[in-house]
C-alpha cells in the first residue's frame, strides 16, 4: 500500500475553477448596499511642510458624505517595531514623498469623489529634498526625521570570526561594488479596500493582505477600538510578493471614512497609485570584499550595503538584514562582517520583496565567478566548494537541520549540460549559475506560531479553520490536502474557513515563507487530534488497540484486515449518540530564538529550517542591439518534501519570471526629482508569458525533520537564484562582468563597445 494517498502527488488546486472562470471575488469586485467611493488626495511635493488644509468646499459638494484629514485621527504613528514607529497614515506636519496621502473623501460615485479632491485647499511650504543615498547621507543634508540622524534609518552590524585574519590567510582577495535601482511588486491586482461599520461599532474590512491578524491589530490601535471589534475578512488576493504584509494607509483611511460617513466605503487604487502608494523594493549599493584560498574556499567576507528605504521605516530592520542572511545561509564562511544601512530619502516607502536585494545576491555570485576565473575554477565548482551542508551552523548561529544545496547544484548542472557547455559555447552565447537560500519563518513574537481547528460533521466531512492566507501560491489547497490525507478523506470532504480574524485563530500569515512549515504543521496536528478520537471510538467497537487502525477512503479499518472497517460518518454518529462531539486542535510554534533581534542581537536560531536553490540559465546575446534571448533555464530547489509537485513547479516558474526574466532584464523604476516616471505597464516592463524561456524544474527532497511530511518553503530560493543565474549567463556571453542591474540592452551594447576598444588598444600597433 502506498504511504500517501494525496500528499506528494499532483492535485488540481481547489481555487482553479473560480479563478479560471472569473468567478473569484477580489476586493475591488465587492459591492455593498449604500456603498460610497473613497479617494485620497496626494502630495504634489516630495518634501513639504503642511501649513493649512481647508476642506470646507469639498464638504459642501453635493454627493460628498465624508472628508477626513489628520485632524480626524489621533496622530498615532505606525511602525513594524516600536523603535520604527514613524509613519502617520495622514501626516499632521509634513509630507515626505510625492504621492503621500494628505486627505481623503467618500462620495456617492467616483466622479464626485475626484471633484471633491480638487476642492480641498492645501497650503504647502516646500522643503529641500534628497533623492539618492549619497545625497541623503551627505553633510548638511535635509533631515527627514529627527529620530534618524544623517538619515540613517537602520544600521545592522554583524561581525563573526576574525575577518582580518581571514584576509591575511587568503590566497586571493577581491573587492567590488554592485548596484541596482528600485523595482516594483507590480501585483496583478491593484490595491483595493472595502470597509463598513455596523450599529455596534464593529469594523468589517476586506483588502489584499498577507496576514489578517497582522492587519487587525494596528487597525484596532489607530481606531481606538477593541481587537474583537475588528474583523479582517478573507478575500481572493492577486499577488503579494512581500508587499502586502503590513498595514497600509488605504486600510486606515477607508475605515475612518466608513466610520465618519456611517456607510460602507470602497477605495480602489489606479495602477499608478499601486506603484507609488504601496511598497516598493529597495535600491541597493553593495560593496563586497572576499578572500579565498587556492581552492576557492571563502575565508573572509566584508560587506557594506546601503539601501534606499524611501521616506519611512516599514519593515526596515528586516529588509536590511535579509539579503545578508540569505547569503550566509547559502554559503559557508567562518569570518564575515556585515554593515547594512537603510537610508531615508524623499521617495515612496520600500519593503520586503520576493527577489530582495539584486545588487547583493548577484554581487556575491558574480564575484565568485570572477575569483574562480582568476583561479582557473569554473563557477559550478566554486559553488560546490562553498555550499552550505546539513548539520552546519550559519555565522549568526542558526542550525541547519536539512540542506540540499549540493544536490541542487549537481542536479541542475547535469540537467543543463553545464560540463558540456561552460567555456565551449559559440560567441555571445553564455551560461551562468546562481545559488541562494531562504529562511522559512523567523522570530515574530506572539504572531510566530499558528493554530488550527477541525470540526467533524455527522456525514463524515470536516471543516478546517485556520488563519493561513493564500496570496495565490496555493496555501488553501495545501491545507485541504494535508487535512484530507491525515483523515483518509477526499478534498471534496473538506470545507475550509481561513484568513478571517473573527473566526480563525492566530497565524503569522503568508510572511517569511512560513505557511507550509508552521501553518501546515498546525493543520496536520489538528487532524491527528481528530484521528486519535475517531480511532478511540472505532477501537472500542472492534475491541482492538488504536495502533492497529488506519484511515483511508473515508473509512477506518484494521490495518492487518482491511475488510474489517467502519465509515468515518458512522464513527461520528456513534460519538454523537454518546453526547460526544469530535473536534481537533493543533498548534505549532517554530524552534527559533526569541532573544534574537534584527538590530540589537542578530544572533541565534533565525528559522527552524531553510530552503536552498540553484538556477542555471543559458542565453544568447545580440551584440548589435544588446537584446538577450534566454534559451533555457534549469531551476532546482530543496523543498524538503513536495506536497504538490505541480504547484511547486508553478512557483519555480513564477520565480524565474520575477527574479530572472523581469528582475535581471527589464524591471526597474525611473525617477525625476522624486516622481516615478514609469508607474504603469507601458513603462515598467513586467515579463509576459510569451517572453518566458523553456524551464526545466528539478524538485530536490531532503525530508526536513520537522516540516509537515518533511516539507518546507518552495519557490523563493529559485526566484533569488534566477537573478544570479541570468547575470552570470549574460556576463559569460559578453565576456564582461556586470556590476549594475538590471542588465538592459544599452548596458550590454556599451560593455561590448568598451571591451572592443580595450582589446584594440592592447594590440601592438
Q: What's the confidence (pLDDT) of residue 508? A: 87
Q: How far apart are CA 188 and CA 155, in angstroms?
A: 33
Mean pLDDT of 434-452: 90
* Whole-structure pTM value: 0.96
Are the CB atoms for 67 and 105 separated by under 8 Å?
yes
Rounded to an integer, what distance in angstroms lies between the CA atom of residue 682 and that of residue 287?
33
Are the C-beta atoms of 38 and 257 separated by less than 8 Å?
yes
SS3 content of the chain, % helix, strand, coil (to 5): 35, 25, 40
In this prediction, residues 238-258 reach a mean pLDDT of 92
Residue 609 has a pLDDT of 96
**Phi, psi of 204, deg, nearest 5:** -120, 125
pLDDT tens profile 94-114: 999 999 999 999 999 999 999
pLDDT at 446: 81
Residues 614-645 as b or e (16 or more Cβ within 10 Å = b): bbbbbbbbeeeebebebbbbbbbbbbbbbbbb
- pLDDT at 131 (0 to 100): 98
Q: Where does the pLDDT of residue 1 fall: very low under 50, low under 70, confident under 90, or very high at 90 and above?
A: low
CB burial of residue 387 (10 Å; 0-12, 13-18, 19+): buried
Mean local confidence (pLDDT), 237-254: 90
Locate 657 and state its grid cell.
519570471
Report yes or no: 197 and 203 within 8 Å, Cβ to Cβ: yes
Between CA 445 and CA 434 the distance in angstroms is 33
Per-residue pLDDT at 765: 58
Give pLDDT, residue 244: 87
Residue identified by cell 558574480 is: 366
> What residues contact residue 442 under an 8 Å CB cut-off, 6+ apart?
318, 512, 514, 592, 596, 606, 607
Domains and CATH numbers, the chain: 16-22+444-588 (3.30.365.10), 31-127+189-238+245-276 (3.90.1170.50), 280-443+596-757 (3.30.365.10)
Reported as a single tens digit per residue, the pLDDT across 668-703 is: 999 999 999 999 989 999 999 999 999 999 999 999
State the cell numbers at 751. 560593455
Q: What is the DSSP annotation of 41-78?
A: EE-SSSSEEEEEEE-HHHHHSTTEEEEE-GGGS----B
User: pLDDT tens, 263-309?
Assistant: 999 999 999 999 999 999 999 999 999 999 999 999 999 999 999 99
> What distance in Å separates the CA atoms of residue 671 and residue 294, rounded to the nearest whole number?
44
- For the chain, the average pLDDT equals 95
**Which is nearest to 126 in space by CA: 49, 232, 22?**
49
pLDDT tens-place string over residues 542-582: 999 999 999 999 999 999 999 999 999 999 999 999 998 89
Cα→Cα distances 71→118, 258, 444, Å: 19, 16, 33
Average pLDDT of the segment spanning 193-197: 98
**The predicted structure's pLDDT at residue 352:** 87
List the grid coordinates of 401: 537541520
Q: What share of the chain in percent tops pLDDT 90?
A: 89
> What was the pLDDT predicted at 642?
96
What grid cell was written down for 92? 499632521
pLDDT in tens, 459-473: 999 999 999 998 888
pLDDT at 90 over 60: yes
Amino acid at each position: 500500500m502506498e504511504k500517501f494517498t494525496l500528499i506528494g502527488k499532483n492535485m488540481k488546486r481547489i481555487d482553479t475553477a473560480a479563478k479560471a472562470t472569473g468567478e473569484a471575488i477580489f476586493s475591488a469586485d465587492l459591492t455593498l448596499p449604500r456603498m460610497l467611493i473613497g479617494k485620497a488626495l496626494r502630495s504634489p511635493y516630495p518634501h513639504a511642510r503642511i501649513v493649512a488644509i481647508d476642506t470646507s468646499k469639498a464638504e459642501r459638494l453635493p454627493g460628498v458624505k465624508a472628508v477626513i484629514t489628520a485632524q480626524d485621527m489621533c496622530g498615532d504613528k505606525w511602525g513594524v517595531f516600536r523603535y520604527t514607529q514613524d509613519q502617520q497614515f495622514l501626516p499632521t506636519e509634513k509630507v515626505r514623498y510625492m504621492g503621500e496621502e494628505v486627505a481623503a473623501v467618500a462620495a456617492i460615485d467616483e466622479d464626485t469623489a475626484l471633484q471633491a479632491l480638487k476642492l480641498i485647499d492645501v497650503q504647502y511650504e516646500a522643503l529641500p529634498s534628497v533623492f539618492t543615498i549619497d545625497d541623503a547621507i551627505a553633510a548638511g543634508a535635509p533631515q527627514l526625521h529627527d529620530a534618524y540622524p544623517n538619515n540613517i534609518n537602520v544600521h545592522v552590524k554583524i561581525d563573526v570570526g576574525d575577518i582580518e585574519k581571514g584576509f591575511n590567510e587568503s590566497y586571493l582577495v577581491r573587492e567590488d561594488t554592485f548596484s541596482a535601482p528600485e523595482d516594483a511588486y507590480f501585483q496583478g491586482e491593484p490595491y483595493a479596500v472595502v470597509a463598513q461599520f455596523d450599529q455596534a461599532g464593529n469594523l468589517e474590512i476586506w483588502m489584499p493582505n498577507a496576514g489578517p491578524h497582522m492587519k487587525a491589530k494596528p487597525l484596532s490601535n489607530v481606531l481606538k477600538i477593541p481587537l474583537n471589534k475588528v474583523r479582517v475578512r478573507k478575500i481572493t488576493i492577486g499577488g503579494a510578493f512581500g508587499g502586502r504584509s503590513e498595514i497600509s494607509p488605504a486600510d486606515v483611511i477607508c475605515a475612518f471614512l466608513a466610520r465618519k460617513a456611517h456607510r460602507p466605503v470602497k477605495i480602489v487604487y489606479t495602477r499608478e497609485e499601486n506603484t507609488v502608494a504601496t511598497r516598493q523594493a529597495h535600491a541597493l549599493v553593495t560593496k563586497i570584499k572576499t578572500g579565498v584560498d587556492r581552492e576557492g574556499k571563502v575565508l573572509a567576507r566584508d560587506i557594506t550595503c546601503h539601501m534606499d528605504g524611501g521616506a519611512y521605516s516599514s519593515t526596515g530592520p528586516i529588509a536590511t538584514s535579509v539579503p545578508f542572511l540569505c547569503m550566509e545561509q547559502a554559503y559557508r564562511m567562518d569570518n564575515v562582517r556585515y554593515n547594512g544601512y537603510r537610508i531615508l530619502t524623499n521617495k515612496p516607502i520600500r519593503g520586503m520583496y520576493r527577489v530582495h536585494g539584486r545588487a547583493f545576491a548577484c554581487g556575491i555570485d558574480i564575484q565568485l565567478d570572477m575569483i574562480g576565473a582568476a583561479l582557473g575554477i569554473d563557477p559550478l565548482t566554486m559553488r560546490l566548494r562553498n555550499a552550505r551542508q546539513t548539520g552546519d551552523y550559519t555565522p549568526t548561529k542558526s542550525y541547519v537541520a536539512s540542506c540540499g544545496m549540493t544536490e541542487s547544484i549537481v542536479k541542475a548542472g547535469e540537467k543543463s549540460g553545464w560540463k558540456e557547455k561552460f567555456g565551449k559555447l559559440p560567441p555571445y552565447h553564455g551560461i551562468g549559475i546562481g545559488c541562494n537560500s531562504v529562511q522559512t519563518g523567523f522570530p515574530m513574537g506572539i504572531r510566530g506560531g499558528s493554530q488550527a481547528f477541525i470540526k467533524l460533521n455527522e456525514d463524515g466531512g470536516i471543516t478546517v479553520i485556520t488563519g493561513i492566507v493564500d496570496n495565490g501560491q496555493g496555501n488553501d489547497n495545501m491545507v485541504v490536502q494535508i487535512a484530507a490525507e491525515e483523515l483518509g478523506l477526499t478534498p471534496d470532504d473538506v470545507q475550509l474557513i481561513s484568513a478571517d480574524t473573527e473566526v480563525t485563530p492566530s497565524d503569522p500569515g503568508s510572511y517569511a515563507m512560513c505557511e507550509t512549515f508552521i501553518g501546515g504543521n498546525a493543520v496536520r496536528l489538528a487532524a491527528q487530534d481528530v484521528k486519535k478520537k475517531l480511532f478511540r471510538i472505532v477501537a472500542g467497537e472492534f475491541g482492538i488497540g488504536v495502533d492497529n487502525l488506519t484511515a483511508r477512503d473515508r473509512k477506518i479499518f484494521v490495518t492487518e484486515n482491511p475488510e474489517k472497517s467502519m465509515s468515518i460518518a458512522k464513527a461520528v454518529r456513534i460519538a454523537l449518540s454518546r453526547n460526544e462531539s469530535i473536534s481537533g486542535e493543533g498548534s505549532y510554534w517554530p524552534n527559533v530564538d526569541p532573544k534574537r533581534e534584527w538590530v540589537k542581537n542578530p544572533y541565534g536560531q533565525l528559522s527552524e529550517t531553510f530552503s536552498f536553490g540553484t538556477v542555471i540559465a543559458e542565453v544568447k546575446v545580440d551584440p548589435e542591439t544588446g537584446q538577450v534571448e534566454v534559451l533555457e533555464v534549469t531551476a532546482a530547489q530543496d523543498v524538503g518534501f513536495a506536497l504538490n509537485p505541480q504547484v511547486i513547479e508553478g512557483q519555480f516558474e513564477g520565480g524565474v519570471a520575477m527574479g530572472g526574466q523581469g528582475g535581471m532584464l527589464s524591471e526597474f523604476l525611473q525617477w525625476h526629482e522624486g516622481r516615478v516616471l514609469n508607474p504603469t505597464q507601458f513603462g515598467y516592463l513586467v515579463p509576459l508569458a510569451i517572453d518566458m524561456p523553456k524551464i526545466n524544474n528539478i524538485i530536490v527532497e531532503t525530508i526536513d525533520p520537522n516540516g509537515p511530511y518533511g516539507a518546507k518553503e518552495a519557490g523563493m530560493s529559485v526566484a533569488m537564484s534566477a537573478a544570479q543565474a541570468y547575470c552570470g549567463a549574460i556576463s559569460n556571453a559578453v565576456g564582461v562582468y556586470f556590476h549594475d542591474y538590471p542588465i538592459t540592452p544599452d548596458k550590454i551594447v556599451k560593455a561590448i563597445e568598451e571591451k572592443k576598444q580595450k582589446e584594440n588598444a592592447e594590440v601592438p600597433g
